[in-house]
Structure 1
Amino acid sequence: MKVLFIGGTGTISSGITEQLLEKGCELYLLNRGTRNDTLPAGVNIIKADINDEDHVAKLIEPMEFDVVADFIAFEPAQLERDYRLFKGKTKQFMFISSASAYQTPLSDYRITEGTPLSNPYWEYSRNKIACEDYLVKQYREHGFPMTIVRPSHTYDERSIPLGVHGSKGSWQVAKRILEGKAVIIHGDGTSLWTMTHNRDFAKGFIGLMGNIHAIGESVHITSDESVTWNQIYEIIADVLGVKLNAVHVSSEFLAACSTEDYRGGLLGDKANSVVFDNSKLKRLVPEFVATTRLDQGIKQTIEYILAHPEYQIEDNEFDIWCDKVIHALDVALMTVTG
């Protein structure tokens, strides 16, 4: 199979890249080369900026692919560009959308591919919905062989999966846990969430590649495991070998007092209970099963980060903000109980 990935080095795509190479796939990555030093041997690199459409068109002019997948498209204009570049050049075009595009708030916490797409809280999700609409139109009117894939919260060994963190990543939260500081959990921590290791996501994604039954379809790929946010943070603290000091803060309050996009990331996503029905994926890819239990995956991630200081990126601004939020709650409590 001859495959082209636009991107190919991110959290979701890196796991797929590794597994495809193990299977002997002829894999090309089209990217700017900023993270290619971590790629395994055997990848063919097309170094270019996908936004330079004329240049890319010249580079791929003599080439055709069995599968093209765009991991870094977020707006319809980028899909319009992809359509111009790859129509007639691939048997299957795969777009990575987002499970955050599903109806928010949900009318039923059990999510299938038939769940409506609507998210008034997050522009990111609305843009993904618009991208899907464009591809569906091209499929219906021109036979463009597209497949839409919707990941939910997917993680790898480079970042601890969390609900509330700063712009520099998750390490500062782990550091607060290690130091015994109070750690913010949104809501009361009892809402259900699903996290999927990128190794498991890759198995589902590869099963959809070259799959004639996936053409024209939308499919989400997630673990079947559901956990609460309280359980997630307890797992992290347990792996770190310390006691968790949790403070629960409403998602609305966090969104109102932070410059981070918690309105989108929390109110439009993580604050809602979600349980995914993967029946459609399992019909299309009968061998699919997510085998990385969350406590096992988080243990592997934390061990990796502790062994690689380059991923221990401190975020003093986020740390100060956490202390301010927690202090404000303490003051409010004293005022009320007074």
Structure 2
Amino acid sequence: MKVLIIGGTGLISTPITQMLIDRGDEVTLFNRGQRTARMAHFSGHVRELRGDRRAFGIFEAQVREAGMFDCVIDMIGFHPDEVESAVRAFRGRCGQYIFCSTVDVYARPSFHHPYREGGPLHALSDYGREKIACERILMEAHDDRAFPVTLLRPAHTYDDTGIIHHSLGRSTALLDRIRRGRPVIVHGDGQSLWVAAHAIDVAGGFVGAIGNTRAYGRGYHLPGEEWLTWDGYHRVIADVLGVTLPELVHIPTDLLARLAPGRSGVCEVNFQYPNIFDVSAAREDLGYRYTVPVARGFRRIVAHLEATGGITDSDAEPYYDQIIDAWRDHTQAMIDRFAPMGL
């Protein structure tokens, strides 16, 4: 098959590209060519188109000149004007358009879990709202017979060189804290549910959608299938590091998001809600399979970080312990204030 990937060297699209090469497809990558190492790895195996998709007129001319495609996979469509440009460029010129969306399109909180395709869309983040707008434009194009559309919605996705998310951002100092037995901050009561999937599994879902007529006009979830509480998530990390889980300090999500909005704001719009998704449709129609358990995937991340010196010394982040100290002090002050009332 002739497949064009808009992107092609990112977290999910790199293994997609490799899978398509391995099965003998004719692959074209459109990107800015900034990830030179990955492009060098694919050199000789893919056709390369260099450009900026946001230069809409030039982009549309480039892909028209590149010819017809059996499938276009859009991995980097984040804004409505970008997919509007894609509709102009590929109308009648591709056999299928696969769009990488996100589970962040769904309404939070939800009254029903797990999330199922077709659930109400009402994103809390700008990222999610933009993806909703993109989805709607593409489904209108599908209904207008511009090309068949498939929407794929990954959740948290990582690879062997990735980052382990936590309540105070993405710093790898979390690993040092756990290894040294230092207390770890967890948003809320630590009982909201989270999933994570390795990019190799998510990529398999994308490849399973290519040329798959059952997927035309539909959306699918491509998340992890281990439903972990955030407390359980940290226990997995401790197990991977071979240490006992240190004390988990639970701080209300709304407070944490105000104390450290740049690091913990995502907890308020995402992490505090159950992030669990039904994958039965993707398993049945796309052959989606979850094969890399979180513990195995995180072990690979830790191995990579250790090999590259990528674990930050937790001493370099004094604010972390300062937040814990402030929380403990104010909690004790409240206890002392109300204790005489015998409540």
TM over 0.5: yes
- Identify which of 23, 47, 55 aligns with 1:44: 47
1:254 to 249, 253, 256: 256
Match of 1:212?
Answer: 213
Q: Hey, what does 2:93 align to over in structure 1?
A: 89
- Tell me by how many angstroms 1:314 deviates: 7.3
- Does 2:289 correspond to 1:289? yes
Structure 1 residues without counterparts, runs of 5 or longer: none
How big is the alpha-carbon RMSD for the aligned residues of Structure 1 and Structure 2? 2.1
Q: Aligned partners of 1:314 and 1:146: how far apart in 2?
A: 46
Give 2:326's aligned residue.
328
1:128 matched to 2:126? The reply is no
Identity of counterpart residues, as a percentage?
A: 34
Task: Call closer, same or farther: CA 1:36–1:23 in 2, change over 3 Å.
Answer: farther
Q: Aligned partners of 2:72, 2:168: CA distance in 1, in Å?
A: 33
Cα distance in 2 for residues equivalent to 1:261 and 1:215: 38
Whether the 8 Å contact between 2:101 and 2:154 is mirrored in structure 1 is: yes
Question: Which is worse superposed, 48-57 or 79-88?
Answer: 48-57
Q: Aligned ranges for residues 26-175 of structure 1 at < 5 Å?
A: 26-39=26-39, 40-41=41-42, 42-60=45-63, 61-119=65-123, 121-166=124-169, 169-175=170-176
Structure 1 consecutive aligned stretches of length 4 or more whose deviation exceeds 6 Å: 313-317
Distance in 2, matches of 1:178 and 1:138, equals 51
Which has the higher Rg, Structure 1 or Structure 2?
A: 2
Gap runs ≥5 in structure 2? 337-343
Q: Does 1:25 align with 2:25?
A: yes
Residues 109-133 of structure 1 show CA distances to partners (whole Å, capped at 9, x for unaligned) of 21110211112x3121111111111
Count of residues paired in the alignment = 331
Superimposed CA distance per residue, residues 194-238 of structure 1 (whole angstroms, 9 cap, x where no aligned partner): 111111111111100111121111111123221111121111122
Q: Distance in 1 between matches of 2:263 and 2:134?
A: 21
Deviates more, 1:157-166 or 1:208-217: 157-166
Q: TM-score, normalised by structure 2?
A: 0.89
Give distance in 2, aligned partners of 1:86 and 1:315.
Answer: 50
Report the Cα distance in structure 2 between the residues aligned to 1:301 and 1:261, rounded to whole angstroms. 21
How big is the shift at 1:288? Answer: 2.7
Match of 1:298 in 2: 298
Q: Comparing 274-283 with 53-62, which one deviates more in the overlay?
A: 53-62
Q: In 2, distance between residues paired with 1:77 and 1:316?
A: 44
1:179-190 to structure 2, matched below 5 A, reads: 179-190=180-191
- Asked if the contact 1:160–1:302 (Cα under 8 Å) also holds between the matched residues in 2, the reply is no
8 Å CA contact retained: 1:157, 1:305: no
1:279 aligns with 280
Q: How much does 1:18 deviate?
A: 2.2
